Amino acid sequence: MRFLLTLLLLGTMAFSQFGKVAVTVDDRLLRESERQKISSIRDEVNRFFSGRIWDEQFQGLKIPLNISIVFQGVAQKGGMETFHAQVLIADGMDIRYFDKSLQFYYNPGTSIQFDPVIFDPLGSFLSFYAYAVLAGWMDTYDFYGGNHAYGQAREIALRGMASDYPKGWSTRVQLLKEVTGNKGLREGRFAYYVAMDLFDQGKPDDALNEFNLMMEGLETVFGQFPTGRTLYFLDANREKLVHRLNVLGQDDILKRLSEMDPAHKEKYLRGLRNN
């Protein structure tokens, strides 16, 4: 049960927030000498996420991460060799970030570091997305529970904008503004997880109240915001959502979802025919 799990998480003091971290590297655009310099980056990125406690309250989450790093080339900056890459970071569910503007230097044989005060192009970049992903998960346990982590990410981004490596950081500040300001999706996601927990506890009426709150949030998104991240959410949870609403006999909600998500309309309406 999600509320019980929250209590267990708050009392856990020995587990990292991130679980299995799968890192893939595409270095085909680099020269052989450049490939050698970043040959350890896969293991270092894995170690960076797995070996740190990012928030003292929400420990033991074991968030899975899939990270794809595609190198675009190398340039000189201030006499230092800097790598340029695009990065996709996802949790395998509905949190997905694609960043086209990573610029960093890399010293083989040294570990990637993050300091909350001293800016490091790669360590700060990875920390920014660590907090962004973590915030998305925290939002599903507490109402706006990710606010603090989003704030941490924003502080990193502001330091990045003022650093010697400002490329991409203004875009990341804007990204946070869009994600945190999309209250409909944040509230809808939270209501969904509460509803699922209540359903599993055998409290269908309470669950239905939360599903209705979920719909209010999602319909706000479709009326005012870009829908990409909301569709990620529906993609990750569609099967379970349709099943629960079918059991509850919620034909109206299923029809409204089919209008929001027309590419999968048949899946929502098929549930109606099974009643």
Taking each helix axis from N to C terminus, what angle separates 147-161 and 121-138, rounded to the nearest 10 degrees? 160
pLDDT in tens, 179-231: 999 999 999 999 999 999 999 999 999 999 999 999 999 999 998 888 899 99
**Whole-number pLDDT of residue 5:** 45
pLDDT given at position 2: 54
How confident is the model at residue 57, as a pLDDT?
84
Q: What angle do CA 201, 202, 206 make, to 5 degrees?
A: 90
Domain boundaries, the chain: 2-181, 183-273
Does the pLDDT value for residue 260 go beyond 60? yes
pTM for the full predicted model: 0.92
What is the rounded distance in angstroms from the CA atom of residue 73 to the CA atom of residue 79? 16
CA-nearest of 183, 211, 212, 216 to 197 is 211
Contact 134, 67 (CB under 8 A): no
**Is the pLDDT assigned to residue 12 strictly greater than 60?**
no
d(C-alpha 132, C-alpha 111), whole Å: 22
Burial of residue 45 (number of CB atoms within 10 Å: 0-12, 13-18, 19+): buried
Instruction: Spell 193-225 as b/e; 16+ CB within 10 A means b.
Output: bbbbbbbeeeebeebbebbebbbebbbbbbeeb
What proportion of the chain, given as a percentage, has pLDDT over 90? Answer: 80
Q: Is residue 132 a contact partner of residue 179, using CB atoms and an 8 Å limit?
A: yes
How far apart are alpha carbons 101 and 155 in whole angstroms? 18
